[in-house]
Chains A and B, each alone.
Chain A
Amino acid sequence: MTPFAVFEPGGDAATALYIVSFSLFIIGIKQGTHPTSAKRGNLIAAVGMAVAVVTTLLLDGMGNWGILFGALAVGSAIGVIASLRVQMTEMPQMVALYNGVGGGAVALIAWSEIRHGISLGDEIPLDELIPILFAAVVGSVSFWGSNIAFAKLQDLIPTRPLAAPGQQVINALLVIGIIAACTITAINNDHPSEGLFIAILLASGLLGNLVVLPIGGADMPVVISLLNAFTGLSAAAAGFALDNVALIVAGTLVGSSGTILTMEMATAMNRSVGNILFSGFGGAPAGGGGTGEERPHTSIGAQDAAIKLAYADSVVIVPGYGLAVAQAQHAIKEVADELEKRGVTVNYAIHPVAGRMPGHMNVLLAEADVPYEQLREMEEINPEMPRTDVAVVVGANDVTNPAAKNDPDSPIAGMPIIEVDQAQQVIVIKRSLSPGFAGIDNDLFYEPNTSMLFADAKQAAADIASEIGNL
C-alpha cells in the first residue's frame, strides 16, 4: 500500500523509536534548565521530535500522502516565517499562539477519533472514549483561551479585565453542561452522538473565551503557562486514545513541567492561580485611583536627568515592558556605557515578571549585549536600594508601586516589588502618568524624591546618553 511502510503500528520497533524520542525530550528539557546547555537542549528535543515524526510516517498502512505532506508543508512554512519575523518583544503572544494551535490540533484529533469510532459502528471502549472527551474539552479550552491571550497581548482587544455580569454563574453552568454532555456520551458509548460531541467542543471553546476574557493583561503570562500545561495534558489524553506512548510521555512531561512553571510565576506575583482565574485584577480599579484628581509631581528634562546620573556613584536601572515596546534596550545600554566610562556602577534590577513573562526582560537585554553579570534579581538588589544614588525606572510601572507594600487595600497588595522608593533619587521615564497593566495609580510618581521624565523611552535614553557625553 505504501512505498515506505516499515513499522507495524504499535509494534516493538516503532515503540522503541518512540522511547528514543521521549528520552531525547527529557534530556532536552533537563538541559534547558541550565544557561550553558539550554540551546543544545532545545536542539536535542527537536531531534527527538524528528525521530517521532519519521517513525510515524513509516508506520505500515499509512496513506493519503498528498494531503499529509501538503498540510505538513503549509504548517511548517507558517511556523518558519512566523518565528523569523516575530520581534523579541512579541515573544509572549507568539508562544500563546503556538500553544493555541497545539490545543486546536488536539481537539480536532479527538473529533476525528470519535467520528472514526462512530463510523465503525462498534461500541467505543471507555478507556478510549473518556480520553477522547478529555482531549476534546481541554484542547478546545486551550485553543480559544490562547487566542484570547494572544489578542490581549497584541492589543487586538482591551487588556483590561472584561467581564459580563453573572460571569461566574455562566461559567459554572457551562462546566456543568459540558460534564453532563460528556457523561451522556460515555453512557451511550455504543452509539455516541456526533452532534452532541460538536456541542461539547463549542461549549468548551466558549468556556475558554469566558475564562480568559476577564483576566487582566498583567496576569496573562500565568494564563499562557497554565494553558501550555493544559495542552500538554490533552496531548497525553490523545495518546491514551491512540495508544501512542510518545504522546503520553511527551504530553505528560509538558503537563507537569508547565504546572510547576505556572506556580512559580504566580508566586512571583504573590497571587494564587485560582485567584487569577476567578477574579479579574482590580474589580473596582477606579475607586482607589482618585479619579480625575491631579496630584503634584516633579517633572525634569533629559539634561537634568543626565546630570543626576553622571554625578552618582551607583545607578540601578529598572527596565519594564515599556522599554521593550519602545525598543529602547540598545539606547539604555548606551546610557550605561557612558556612565561606566565615568566610573559609575550600573546594575539592572530585573523583576521576576518584568516584561510579560518571567525571563522575558533578560532575553531583551541580552539582545542589547548587556552583560549577564549586571542583571540582578529582585531579592538581590532590594537590600542595596537604600545605598543606591539614582534608580532609573524605564517603562516599568506596577512592579515599582510602593502601594504593594504600604496599602493593604490595593489590588496589588503583597506583590513583591523592586523598592526603588528606597533609593536616594528616582527618575521615571514614561510617556505619561497613566496607570500600568494592573490599571491602578502608582504612588511612586508623586513621591518627593521622584522626578518624572515624560518621553518615549528610546528617545529619552538616547538624549540622556548624548547629554552625559557632553558633560
Chain B
Amino acid sequence: MDLITELTIFVLAAFVGFEVISKVPTTLHTPLMSQTNAIHGIVMLGGLIVIGFADDGLEYVIGAIAIAFGAINIVGGFMVTDRMLGMFSRKPKPKAEAASTDGKGGA
C-alpha cells in the first residue's frame, strides 16, 4: 500500500470514529472507553508479525513481551467490558415495581 492510500484510510477512519461515538449516554462512557481500550490491543498483530519473522535473540524477547502485553490488553479489555455491561442487563426484575413508584413521584 502506498503512503497516500494509507493516509486516506487514516483520515476517513478518524472521521468514522468521531461520527460513531458522538452522543453517548454518560452511563456508557466507562464501558465504551474500556471497549475501545480493548480494540487498540490489535497492536498485538504487530507482535505476532515481529515474532513470526524474528531471527535474533533480542527480537524474540521483545516480540514475546509485546504479544503477551497485547493479549492482556485484548482479552482483559473485552472481558472486563463484558462484566461491566453485564451489570446493566440484569434490571428487568425490579423494573415493574420501580416504574410505579417513579410514576407517582414524577407526577
By a beta-carbon cutoff of 8 Å, the part of chain A in contact with chain B is 9-10, 22, 25-26, 28-30, 32-35, 38-39, 41-43, 45-46, 49, 52-53, 56-57, 59, 61-64, 67-68, 70-72, 74-76, 78-80, 82-84, 86, 88, 91-92, 94-95, 98-99, 101-102, 104-106, 108-109, 111-113, 115-116, 119, 127, 224-225, 228, 231-232, 234-236, 238-240, 242-258, 260-261, 264-265, 268, 314, 340, 345, 347, 350, 352, 357-360, 362-363, 366-367, 369, 371-375, 377
Contacts and interface: CB of A to CB of B under 8 A. Distances in A.
Contacts of A83: 75-76, 79-80, 83
A252 B10 contact: yes
Given A64-B54, A112-B66, A369-B91, A244 B38 contact: no
Nearest to B48: A56
A340 B48 contact: no
A209 to B, nearest CB: 18
Contacts of A106: 43, 46
Max chain A Cβ within 10 angstroms of own Cβ: one of B24, B52, B72: B72
Nearest to A375: B27
Nearest to B70: A105
B66 A363 contact: no
B106 to A, nearest CB: 9
Interface-central residue, B13, B38, B94, by most chain A CB under 10 Å:
B13
Contacts of B31: 32, 38, 42, 359, 363
Contact of A109 (B46, B82, B85, B93): B46
A225 B33 contact: yes
A231 B78 CA distance: 16
Nearest to B25: A35
A359 B32 CA distance: 10
Contacts of A10: 1
A232 B36 contact: yes
Nearest to B59: A112
B45 A105 contact: no
Contacts of B17: 29, 252-257, 260
Contacts of A127: 3
Interface string B38-69: 11111111111111111010111011111111
B77 A98 contact: yes
Interface size class of B (residues with CB under 8 A): 35 or more
**Main secondary structure on chain B at its contact with chain A?**
helix
Contact of B29 (A30, A261, A367): A261
Contact of A33 (B18, B32, B48): B32
A249 B9 contact: yes
B10 A67 contact: no
B62 to A, nearest CB: 5
Contact of A245 (B1, B16, B63): B1
B72 A257 contact: no
Nearest to B50: A112
Contacts of A84: 79
Nearest to A74: B68
Nearest to A264: B29
B72 A78 contact: yes
Contact of A75 (B42, B51, B70, B99): B70
Contacts of B74: 49, 53, 79
A367 B79 CA distance: 16
A95 B80 contact: yes
A320 to B, nearest CB: 15
Given A35-B27, A45-B35, A240-B10, 10 more contacts: A45-B39, A70-B64, A75-B68, A94-B76, A98-B41, A109-B47, A109-B50, A256-B13, A362-B26, A369-B94
Contacts of B42: 49, 52, 235, 246-247, 250-251
Of B23, B78, B94, the most chain A CB neighbours within 10 A belong to B78
B84 A314 contact: no
Nearest to A68: B51
B73 A102 contact: yes
Given A45-B39, A106-B43, A362-B27, A62 B48 contact: yes
Contact of B67 (A62, A71, A224): A71
Contact of A68 (B3, B16, B26, B52): B52
A371 B100 CA distance: 12
Given A228-B33, A236-B10, A256-B15, A250 B39 contact: yes
A84 B80 CA distance: 8
Interface in B1-22: 1, 3, 6, 9-10, 13-18, 20-22
A10 B43 CA distance: 16
Given A62-B53, A98-B77, A53 B26 contact: no
A371 B94 contact: yes
A359 B28 CA distance: 6
Contact of B40 (A240, A250, A369, A375): A250
